[in-house]
Amino acid sequence: MRRHQTWLCGCFATLLIGTQMGCEADYGPLEGSETLDEPELTSTQVAITSQIGDPLPGTDPVAFEEAADAFGDVESIEDGLGPTFNERACGTCHNLPVLGGSGSQIERRFGRLTDGVFFGYDNDEENQGGTLRQLFANGTYDSAGVSCTIPVEVEPSSANINNVGRRATPLFGLGLVDAMPDSFFVALAASQPVAIRGLAQRVRVALPDPRDPTQSVGSMRVARFGHKGLVPTLLVFSGDAYDNEMGITTQSCVAGTSILEFAVENHPNNVQPPAGCNGGDLALANPPGDPQVPEFTDDVVGPCDGGRTEIQDDLLLFTTFMERLAPPPPDLGDPIGTIIGGFNFVVVGCAGCHVPVIFVTPARPFNAVPGNFAFLPFSDFLAHDMGALGDGIGETGDPVAQTRLMRTTPLWGARFNTQFLHDGRAATVRDAILAHDGQAAAARTQFTQLSNFAQRTVVRFVNSI
């Protein structure tokens, strides 16, 4: 219990004071960006975030507004939208309660499990373009006199994992998380009891952030974003979402290498559009035959010769917006109820994964966030076996256990959500707790054994974060 009291002390100090500390921030720009020059914070400056959606202290308001505008821009078929897509703007999915929050849309995924092994429909003769079933298509359009029709994607009949939902996650405070070193998450995992220990999943960095000397093409980094905890950086998050959620493909250069990870269009059920249909949209085509710049990639920076480094400008702006969003402000309206609920939160075991550990950014972060900045997201950002709550989706060749892994969702700002869990099935915090399983089953059981009043205090605590 002494350990719990120590955790709670730090937790409540942050909640009840409602401040974060910033010291000597280093605001180095991404290559190719003219939006990231920032003034530095003075030592031990205290900043109080008063509104959800506020930027981090020290952020240039003009640069932030430009990035927010890009994040909210609605794309069209002329911009490269499609051939298939889930939404027309980043801000359409991430808009609750403000730009950068969660959303009401639920995307859909599918897969097949055979003899305990997952197949993601991304190779061989059954290649359907992966597990994501985009909900919309460009339909019928005219391309230089050719009538083209792009059908809506459907699940293949051989799929036995069907219609799996994924909701848009809030983005507040994630630039701070991006700044944390791998060793921090590895240490968090090592500190957890074996029964609930999470996994710090190292994944390949498809698009290195040029500001970070530890990242290079193909290097490994502890992933910390996405429902499955498989996205290593906000820059990768930007490229992946632009491609898969809106169908807008990009090419960037890093140290002379042309990055084509996000340059491939998603065609409905992996069926190419007819000849003359411009690759499925109306973005200007690139000269054919250049392996550095595929013909139908929508937004490109061009050849990467001479060791060139340049990140495509939309990805820069999306990353700028996300990494500048401050953590949500806590609700300080009921301090006594918060303390009681926090105590019960720890006692039942929720704090095992939703750790009340104060994170502190490095003194000089690689990205544009303040250094020595304390924040409390109530997540270990690790992947845990969630049993029946796991979504059953993995990558081709994964065993069943891997498909049950889900990243611990940060709890800050929970009161601003309109739905909970990865698929939005839970309408309330209490419903979400009761749906927990796997490594969280013991905590769920202990929660159910609390009195109704004590359960309400836990919910009150979560809604105060």
The CATH number that applies at residue 363 is: 1.10.760
Q: Are 37 and 27 in contact (CB under 8 A)?
A: yes
> Which has the closest alpha carbon to 157: 121, 117, 106?
121
202 located within any domain:
no
Instruction: Find the range with the poorest average confidence among 13-22, 166-175, 214-223, 368-377.
Output: 13-22
For residues 444-450, average pLDDT: 98
Q: How far separated are the first and last CA of the chain, in Å rounded?
A: 22
Does 238 share its domain with 337?
A: no
Mean pLDDT in the chain?
91
Does 230 share its domain with 374?
A: no
Does 150 share its domain with 6?
A: no
Does 432 share its domain with 402?
A: yes
Task: State the residue range of the domain holding 360.
Answer: 2-56+327-464
H-assigned helices in 155-251: 174-179, 182-191, 234-246
For residues 27-41, average pLDDT: 37
DSSP 28-67: PPPTT-SS---PPPPTTEEE---STTPBPTT--HHHHHHH
Does 255 share its domain with 137?
A: yes
Is residue 26 scored above 80 in pLDDT?
no
Does 111 share its domain with 222?
A: yes
pLDDT of residue 50: 73
197 located within any domain:
no
pLDDT of residue 368: 86
In this structure, how many other beta carbons lie within 10 angstroms of the beta carbon of residue 444?
A: 20
The two three-digit tokens of residue 83, written as one number: 């051939």
pLDDT of residue 414: 97
pTM: 0.91
Is residue 18 scored above 60 in pLDDT?
no
DSSP 8-state class, residue 450 = S
Does 262 share its domain with 228?
A: yes
Q: Domains in the chain: how many in total?
A: 2
pLDDT tens digit string along 87-134? 999 999 999 999 999 999 999 999 999 999 999 999 999 999 999 999
For residues 267-286, average pLDDT: 97
198 located within any domain:
no
- DSSP, collapsed to helix, strand or coil, labels residue 322 as helix
Q: Are 459 and 429 in contact (CB under 8 A)?
A: yes
The two three-digit tokens of residue 358, written as one number: 């104060």
Which element (helix H / strand E) includes 143?
A: strand 139-143
Which element (helix H / strand E) includes 300?
A: strand 299-300
